[in-house]
Structures are given as C-alpha cells and as structure tokens.
A and B are shown apart, each in its own frame.
Chain A
Amino acid sequence: DTEVTQTPKHLVMGMTNKKSLKCEQHMGHRAMYWYKQKAKKPPELMFVYSYEKLSINESVPSRFSPECPNSSLLNLHLHALQPEDSALYLCASSQLAGGPGETQYFGPGTRLLVL
C-alpha cells in the first residue's frame, strides 16, 4: 500500500470556525509533512514531523496547529483562518526525513475555502 489518504477532500469554513484536516499513511514511514499550495504555484512546506516529533515549522502562523498522534496519522488543526489561507493542503510522507534516496509520497489534498 503506497497510499497517503487525506480527509476531507473539500472544506468550507468561516473565519471563526475550528476545523481539522486529517492525513493517514500505512507504509511505515516515519516522516510526515504538511504543504500549502496556492493556485498555479508549487507546494510550500509548512511542517515536518520526524518520528512523531515536530522537526520543522516554516514560521507558520499559530492559527495552524499540527499534531502527530502516532506514526500513521497527522492532523492539522485550523482556527481563526483568513480568506488568504484558502488553498490546497497537501500531506506527504517518506520513510525517513533526510535520506538521499527517499521519495515523498503525496496525498490527494484537501481543498480549503475560507469565507
């Protein structure tokens, strides 16, 4: 199974809402990632978890709160978002964070619209 799953596929939320994005992989990977992608732009790294510990936070606003409850699951908690946060949110995983031959496997993404 080389699949990364993400739920929900689409999400519409108001600026006062609290919502969560979920990502799951069962490949035994120990590194998981959150990316944000705006239309016609490449993905931008937000967070990296390595062995369930946050290893990289790319100066992401605190209204985005990641969580890694176990090695297979990655959440992104959203609170008080702004309309400019509307984007495709991609989750990825890799065997380890930093190996030269590692491939990152991406999920299908969650399309988020903030009203």
Chain B
Amino acid sequence: KQEVTQIPAALSVPEGENLVLNCSFTDSAIYNLQWFRQDPGKGLTSLLLIQSSQREQTSGRLNASLDKSSGRSTLYIAASQPGDSATYLCAVKGGGSRLTFGEGTQLTVNP
C-alpha cells in the first residue's frame, strides 16, 4: 500500500526566504506526482504535476523535482511572500485513478 509522508508538518518563515517542502513515498511505481495548495476551508489548487518520466517542473517561483527511484519529491518556493501561506499537499498517482495524499505542510510566511 502506497504511503506518502510530508516533512515538515508546519513551517514558519520570514518573507523573502527561499524554502523547500519535502514529500516521500514508499512505492516507486507511480504514474505522476502532483503538488496542490489548499487555503483554509477551500478546495485544492493544482500547482505542478510531474509525470514519472520527468525530473522536474517549474511554474513561476515554484519548482518541483521528482526522484522516483528514491521515492522523493521536493517543492522549492523562491522568494516567499505572505500570499504563499497555505497548506501544501503532495499526492502520488499509481495505477488507476487513485491519488494518495500526504498529510500536508502548513506554511506561514510572515511579513
């Protein structure tokens, strides 16, 4: 059974800092890995999707990497802003349509 772990569970940083969120998964037989953002009480917004054949994806200040063999992904956020404060969820997709989510990292960026 796939298990996804996110470290740290919570992170508080000053504005402008570069930061890294970590995601690890136990079964490397994945189709893709997706990073989502969730604001309190809201739905999930997809940030980046990395297919299993890819190593990284970039969107603006966000960069996600995938090392399938070691079961790890990182989400790098450059020059963090207070508006980046949210919970970040990592999800892996195996065969079929199931996503397995991590518990999330709650990020607070302080002005």
Residues on the A chain within 8 Å of B49, using CB: 101, 103
Residues of chain B lying within 8 A (CB to CB) of residue A76? none
Q: Which of B39-47, B61-69, B72-80 contacts A (4 or more CB under 8 A)?
A: B39-47
A27 to B39, CA, bound (A): 23
* B97 adjacent to A56 (CB under 8 Å): yes
- The reply to whether A42 and B46 contact each other, CB–CB distance below 8 Å, is no
Asked whether B44 lies within 8 Å of A43 as measured between CB atoms, the reply is yes
Tally B residues with Cβ within 8 Å of A. Answer: 25
Asked whether A21 is an interface residue with its Cβ less than 8 Å from the other chain, the reply is no
- Whole-angstrom CA separation of A103 from B43 in the bound complex: 14
Interface residue count on the A side (C-beta < 8 Å): 31
The answer to whether B34 and A108 have CB atoms under 8 Å apart is: no
Question: Could you tell me the distance in whole angstroms from the C-beta of A12 to the nearest C-beta in chain B?
Answer: 15
Cβ of A64 within 8 Å of any chain B Cβ, yes or no, is no
In the bound complex, residues from chain A placing their C-beta under 8 Å from that of B21 are none
Asked if A100 and B97 make an inter-chain contact with CB atoms under 8 angstroms apart, the answer reads no
Distance of A4 from chain B, by nearest CB (Å): 8
Given A41-B103, A90-B43, A98-B95: 9 more A-B contacts, CB < 8 Å: A48-B98, A56-B97, A88-B41, A98-B96, A100-B32, A100-B51, A101-B51, A102-B32, A105-B46
B: which residues have CB within 8 A of A?
A: 31-32, 34, 36, 41-46, 49, 51-52, 89, 91, 93, 95-99, 101-104
